[in-house]
Amino acid sequence: HLQRELLQERTKVKALSEELENPMNVHRWRKLEGSDPATYELIQKVRTLQKRLIAKTEEVVQKDAVISEKESLYNQLKNIIQRQPGPEVEAQLSVYQANLEEKKKQMRSMTTELRMEQGRVGDYRDEIDRLNRDLTEVKKKFYDQKRREQLTLQKSELGKAKFEPTPNPNQPRFTGGGFNLSI
């Protein structure tokens, strides 16, 4: 791109320097219409050709700018496309999706098993609560029975104590495990 611009500028410089070396219109401040018509026509042709040359070089410069813009856009799009996932990424994605579905199925079955086990745990807790209540009732009945028996025993001992003969002080006394306690 820079080389083209350099070439265009050199062409302009060359054309202007040739015009300075060989001036075609010596009297630029007035038109030469009557003296030499062939020279005048040639001068007019040179001017129009120079104008066309300048216009074409400007057009070439503009088109070069458009081309450079298009090339940069092409390179940007090329980079974007290179970053896009390819077929191997799609294959890998499908494998991941299949694995995900399998894991979801496992998760659902595990969730079902968890609910079932939670139900069993709830049943076991209910069973434990029921057994604890039954145990409490049995203990309560047992202690009530013991109290009744103790009360009955105490009543019978009170009745026996009234009728028991007083121990003989000369006789040895035995208490507990049959040990002799002498006083």
Tokens of residue 92, six digits: 């890998």
> How far, in Å, CA of 146 to CA of 160, rounded?
20
Bridge-based pairing of strands 173-175 and 179-181 is antiparallel
Cβ-proximal residues to 85 (8 Å cutoff; 6+ apart), any chain: 93
> How far, in Å, CA of 12 to CA of 33, rounded?
28
Residue 169 has what pLDDT?
64
Q: Which residue, 18, 16, 40, 17, is CA-closest to 27?
A: 40
pLDDT tens per residue, the chain (183 residues)? 788 889 999 999 988 888 777 766 655 555 555 556 677 788 888 899 999 999 999 999 999 999 999 999 999 999 988 887 777 888 888 999 999 999 999 999 999 999 999 999 999 999 999 999 999 999 999 999 999 999 988 888 776 655 555 666 666 665 555 555 555
Cβ(4)–Cβ(67) below 8 Å: no
